Amino acid sequence: MNAPFEGIGASMKRKEDLRFISGHGHYVDDINRPGQLYAYIKRSDRAHAELRGIDTAAAKASAGVVAVYTSADLTGIGGLPCGWQIHNKDGSPMAEPAHPVLASGKVRHVGDPVAVVIAETKQQAKDAAEKLVVDYKDLPAVATVTDAVKPGAAQVHEGAAGNVCYDWEIGDKGAVDAAFAKAAKTVKLDLTNNRLIPNAMEPRAAIGEYDPTTGEHTLYTTSQNPHVIRLLMGAFVLQIPEHKLRVVAPDVGGGFGSKIYHYAEEAIVTWASGKLAQPVKWAAERNESFMSDAHGRDHVSTAELALAADGTFLALRVKTLCNMGAYLSTFAPAVPTYLYATLLAGVYKTPAIYAEVKAVFTNTVPVDAYRGAGRPEASFLLERLVDVAARDTGMDRVEIRRKNFIPKDAFPYQTPVALQYDSGDYVSTLDAAMKHADWAGFPARRAAAKAKGKLRGIGMSTYLEACGIAPSKVVGSLGARAGLYEVANIRVHPTGSVTVFTGTHSHGQGHETTMAQLVSDQLGVPFSQVEVVHGDTSKIPFGMGTYGSRSLAVGGSAMVKAMDKIITKGRKIAAHLLEAAVEDVEFKDGKFTVAGTDRSKTLSEIALTAYVPHNYPIEELEPGLDETAFYDPKNFTYPGGCHVCEVEIDAETGVVSVVNFTAVDDVGRVVNPMIVEGQVQGGVAQGIGQALLENAVYDQDGQLLSGSFMDYTMPRADNLPNIKVGTETTLCTHNPLGVKGCGEVGAIGSPPAVINAVVDALSDYGVRHLDMPASPQKIWSIIQGAPRMAAE
């Protein structure tokens, strides 16, 4: 009887689910340490003000209060570092203003932390914080990028003239200008990418703990990358050496980017627990999440495309203003540059591209990577522009895409904006998506909808993205202050079970399952005998965490490298036991076999020998079967695909319903199809949210109005259609698994598909473009032409 198939390609049920489903998940706020105190952060309710003083006397005298700290108390503590330095067009470095842990001198956004109260209970800390008297002198504030760059705009930082963080460019301006000068047609589009709030369901939380007898600090935190936090906080903020600082990120309830960054509260609880020699917990309330978790997107762009008479793309010119918020979050500067402008070739062989990106400070929450990070901005701009080009030139939307696709025999393909794509087949994903979505049958569905008084539209996007940002040498030359490799430690235990220690993390992607499948597959060990451990710097050698859909492509590849070492060593042990030459020993399905014979040893037997080395080549080989590998990828991976969206609009109310959605993605090799489907559906849900519902609304004074779950509208169960998910695979050519990444494709491919469908539905109204979210208000205004005043 064959064993059930559990390896790469099997839809294994998730190992993590039993604890989640029974209420035994282990999230930071579920942890309580003996003698734990609670911190409450007093935050600015002003968008921009001088901080003239804080009277802490009444708060300090409040029941249960142990300490009250303001910036004056944080002597010797550094500011929060930024992990990426961008250079201006003229070669000078970006403006990089200080980002204090607690505001000092000025507050710059609503939510800026000004003081921390530590008390015996959370409620006591909160009650005492009410008694802090903060003396502010209000300053004029600026909330949007367009306002921030106006002459005379309020200045967020003294060191950033005109509120500009950097003014950066990429591509060949001369070639683009020349192409535009001689183009048969040009198309221009102004568009925005709406500001989003990630809103992972688990609010951020942190617990600091200090052991005075060993001098060791422990930080439990809701993080996607505990080692990065240890490095940034230890080295730059608190100057705690790594060997005395343990960072634990247990189960994390969603992140979507927002839990990558090093936040002030992590430093505060670590520092305060050391000072008080008692554990200190902080857990965000949802309103704090809204005003302190990094937001996403927020671009205003102009895009121009030059075309030949036959519709061939000749050149692309893009100018983007992007919002950094009030301070630079950990990876913020990289998002609108190396994760956005470098993606502007998309799936098209446009020969010349030039992009200018100006990053701007405003009195808003810092903006950083959110699911997709830069690539959704690029795909939205490009896929809208291509639809508009088709419309303006009278070409078919599908044909203009096919005509300009990078053909599948052109790989590796060097784009004009730095990236080199390794593999892809954009025709295959397009054809499959059109087939699954029944694109050809759409006219009949449109006619049927019209008969019921509904406007039906169909739209597509043929997007491309880049995952697993790398290699370290290249990102270093582009301004990254970190390496972007990954680490795996594979420990084969004496009786043959395996523990895998990975430097990546999981905040819902099911890595405990997929990574176990991968190891089970490669080592021939039963799935149930493989355990994946992540999220604890005291267990895992090092790691860069999870973001940019990197965990399998980079973390999984590190595992393969570590397993290669296990197998290499295992062959030597097997050769010794089987009295054969090492070269003659093959490893397959968990067995070391002398080629051409039936003499073999299982991995368990080899492991036992390695740990009980009685009959062992001890002169040449150390005992044990435990290997670590660091893997630095040669390149990004390039998932891509085609999303097709079909909407119906009630012309009388402006309400849009997504009635069909088809996603066909090339995510490289699929390890667990069930999990891939969930990841794609989840990404599409967030993409539909961006396209139709979500919008962070600031008023002119920098107050966040959409600051609750009732005011910031996200998709619920009734907003999502049945999302059909398919895959068409080309393998990544430069990593050992051929995987590309699936965590973000849904959020990258779907927004332009939705808006292209909405615009198509409104084609009778002469609509060329509308910005996200496509709210009933906007649709109705388009249908009506201009806002009508009161009847009669």
Partner 1 sequence: MNRFAYASPATVTEAAAATGLVAEAMVTFDESAVLKAGGIDLLDLLKLELLTPSVVVNLRAIKGLDAITQDAAGNVAIGAMATLSQVAEHPLVRGSYPALATAIAGAAGPQLRNVATLGGNLLQRPHCWYLRSPAHHCLRKGGGHCFAIHGENQYHAIFDNHACAIVHPSTAATALVALNAEVELHDAEGATRRLPLEDFFVGPDDDIQRENALRPREVLTAIHLRKPASGTRMAHLRQGEKAGFDWPLADVAVVLAIGPDGVCREASVVLGAAAPVPHRARAAEQALQGRHPGEAAAGDAARAALRGATPLSLNAYKLALFETLVRRAILAALA
Partner 2 sequence: MTRPEMAGPGKTAITLAVNGTSRQLELEPRTTLAEALRNTLGLTGTKIACNRGACSACTVWLNGQPVLSCMTLAIDAAGQEITTIEGLAHGEALHPVQDAFIEHDAMQCGFCTPGMVMSCAALLERNPHPDAEAVRDAIAGHYCRCGTYPHVVAATLAAAERKP
Chain residues binding partner 1 by CB under 8 A are 45, 110, 127, 650, 652-655, 693, 697, 699-700, 703, 705-708, 710-711, 713, 715-719, 775-777, 780-781, 783-784, 787-792
The candidate with the shortest Cα–Cα distance to 337, out of 237, 162, 469, 496, is: 469
Per residue, the 3-state secondary structure of 738-786, as one string, reads: CECCCCCHHHHHHHHHHHHHHHHHCHHHCCCCCCCCCCHHHHHHHHHCC
| 205 part of the interface to partner 2, by CB under 8 A | no
Tokens 């809204």 locate to 290
| 512 part of the interface to partner 2, by CB under 8 A | no
Binding partner of residue 593 among partner 1, partner 2, none, CB under 5 to 8 Å per kind?
none
Binding partner of residue 202 among partner 1, partner 2, none, CB under 5 to 8 Å per kind?
partner 2
Joined together, the tokens standing for residue 616 give: 């062992």
As measured in angstroms, the least distance from the Cβ of 655 to partner 1 is: 6
Give the DSSP letter of residue 401.
H
Instruction: Give the CA distances from residue 108 to residues 29, 142, 284, 364, 787, in Å, rounded to whole numbers and listed in that order.
Output: 29, 10, 20, 7, 36
As measured in angstroms, the least distance from the Cβ of 691 to partner 2 is: 14
Site for partner 2 (CB under 8 A): how many residues? 57
In whole angstroms, give the CA distance from residue 231 to residue 227.
Answer: 6
| 8 A C-beta contact, residue 171 and residue 299 | no
The residue within the footprint of partner 2, chosen from 23, 76, 151, 394 (CB under 8 A), is: 23
Binding partner of residue 619 among partner 2, partner 1, none, CB under 5 to 8 Å per kind?
none
| 35 part of the interface to partner 2, by CB under 8 A | no
Joined together, the tokens standing for residue 557 give: 């590849």
Task: Single out the segment in contact with partner 2 by CB under 8 A; choices: 25-33, 271-279, 442-450, 539-547.
Answer: 25-33
Site residues for partner 2, 120-149, by CB under 8 A, read 122-123
As measured in angstroms, the least distance from the Cβ of 718 to partner 1 is: 4
Binding partner of residue 510 among partner 1, partner 2, none, CB under 5 to 8 Å per kind?
partner 2
| 681 part of the interface to partner 2, by CB under 8 A | yes
Q: Where are the beta strands (DSSP E) in 584-684?
A: 585-588, 591-594, 600-602, 626-631, 640-650, 655-666
| 509 part of the interface to partner 2, by CB under 8 A | yes
Joined together, the tokens standing for residue 284 give: 């965000």
| 8 A C-beta contact, residue 636 and residue 468 | yes
Site track for partner 2 across 276-305, x = CB under 8 A: ---------xx-------------------
As measured in angstroms, the least distance from the Cβ of 14 to partner 2 is: 7
Report the relative pairing of strands 296-307 and 313-325 from DSSP bridges. Answer: antiparallel
DSSP sequence for 47-79: SSEEEEEEE-HHHHTSTTEEEEEEGGG-TTPPP
The residue within the footprint of partner 2, chosen from 184, 414, 450, 709 (CB under 8 A), is: 709
SS3 166: strand
DSSP H or E segment with residue 356 = strand 352-361
As measured in angstroms, the least distance from the Cβ of 164 to partner 2 is: 33
SS3 558: helix
Q: Which residues pair with 354 in a beta bridge?
A: 171, 317
| 478 part of the interface to partner 2, by CB under 8 A | no
| 251 part of the interface to partner 2, by CB under 8 A | yes
In the chain, what is the straight-line distance between the N-terminal and C-terminal CA atoms, in Å?
A: 81
Residue type, 349: K
As measured in angstroms, the least distance from the Cβ of 289 to partner 1 is: 15
In whole angstroms, give the CA distance from residue 164 to residue 141.
Answer: 15
| 684 part of the interface to partner 2, by CB under 8 A | yes
| 459 part of the interface to partner 2, by CB under 8 A | no
Peptide bond into 151 cis (omega under 30): no
The candidate with the shortest Cα–Cα distance to 274, out of 214, 217, 213, is: 217
Task: Single out the segment in contact with partner 2 by CB under 8 A; choices: 132-140, 152-160, 313-321, 674-682.
Answer: 674-682
If the CB atoms of residues 178 and 714 are measured against partner 1, the closer one turns out to be 714
If the CB atoms of residues 171 and 508 are measured against partner 2, the closer one turns out to be 508
Binding partner of residue 789 among partner 1, partner 2, none, CB under 5 to 8 Å per kind?
partner 1
| 715 part of the interface to partner 2, by CB under 8 A | yes
As measured in angstroms, the least distance from the Cβ of 704 to partner 2 is: 15
If the CB atoms of residues 1 and 710 are measured against partner 2, the closer one turns out to be 710
DSSP H or E segment with residue 171 = strand 164-171
Binding partner of residue 792 among partner 1, partner 2, none, CB under 5 to 8 Å per kind?
partner 1
Distance of CA 319 to the CA centre of its chain: 23
| 13 part of the interface to partner 2, by CB under 8 A | yes
Joined together, the tokens standing for residue 481 give: 């202050």
| 190 part of the interface to partner 2, by CB under 8 A | no
| 8 A C-beta contact, residue 307 and residue 313 | yes
If the CB atoms of residues 5 and 709 are measured against partner 1, the closer one turns out to be 709
The residue within the footprint of partner 2, chosen from 58, 674, 731, 767 (CB under 8 A), is: 674
| 256 part of the interface to partner 2, by CB under 8 A | yes
As measured in angstroms, the least distance from the Cβ of 325 to partner 1 is: 18
Angle at 128 between CA 126 and CA 129, to 5 degrees: 65
If the CB atoms of residues 320 and 686 are measured against partner 2, the closer one turns out to be 686
As measured in angstroms, the least distance from the Cβ of 86 to partner 1 is: 33
The residue within the footprint of partner 2, chosen from 100, 234, 253, 555 (CB under 8 A), is: 253
Binding partner of residue 110 among partner 1, partner 2, none, CB under 5 to 8 Å per kind?
partner 1
If the CB atoms of residues 161 and 710 are measured against partner 1, the closer one turns out to be 710
In whole angstroms, give the CA distance from residue 595 to residue 18.
Answer: 42
| 257 part of the interface to partner 2, by CB under 8 A | no
If the CB atoms of residues 65 and 355 are measured against partner 1, the closer one turns out to be 65
| 203 part of the interface to partner 2, by CB under 8 A | yes
| 20 part of the interface to partner 2, by CB under 8 A | yes
If the CB atoms of residues 256 and 313 are measured against partner 2, the closer one turns out to be 256
Binding partner of residue 705 among partner 1, partner 2, none, CB under 5 to 8 Å per kind?
partner 1
If the CB atoms of residues 427 and 697 are measured against partner 1, the closer one turns out to be 697
| 8 A C-beta contact, residue 360 and residue 148 | yes
Binding partner of residue 79 among partner 1, partner 2, none, CB under 5 to 8 Å per kind?
none
| 8 A C-beta contact, residue 206 and residue 28 | yes
Binding partner of residue 777 among partner 2, partner 1, none, CB under 5 to 8 Å per kind?
partner 1
DSSP sequence for 275-302: HHTS-EEEE--HHHHHHHS-BEEEEEEE
If the CB atoms of residues 192 and 662 are measured against partner 2, the closer one turns out to be 662
The candidate with the shortest Cα–Cα distance to 308, out of 379, 383, 382, 393, is: 393
Task: Single out the segment in contact with partner 2 by CB under 8 A; choices: 18-26, 480-488, 597-605, 614-622.
Answer: 18-26
Orientation of helix 375-393 relative to helix 397-404, angle to 10°: 120
Q: How many residues are listed for the chain in this entry? A: 792
Q: Order of strands across the sheet with 205-211?
A: 65-70, 113-119, 37-43, 280-283, 205-211, 216-221, 245-248
| 710 part of the interface to partner 2, by CB under 8 A | yes
> What is the binding site for partner 2 (CB under 8 A)?
13-14, 16-25, 27, 29-30, 32, 122-123, 198-203, 251-254, 256, 285-286, 507-510, 674-675, 677-679, 681-686, 708-710, 714-718, 720, 722-723
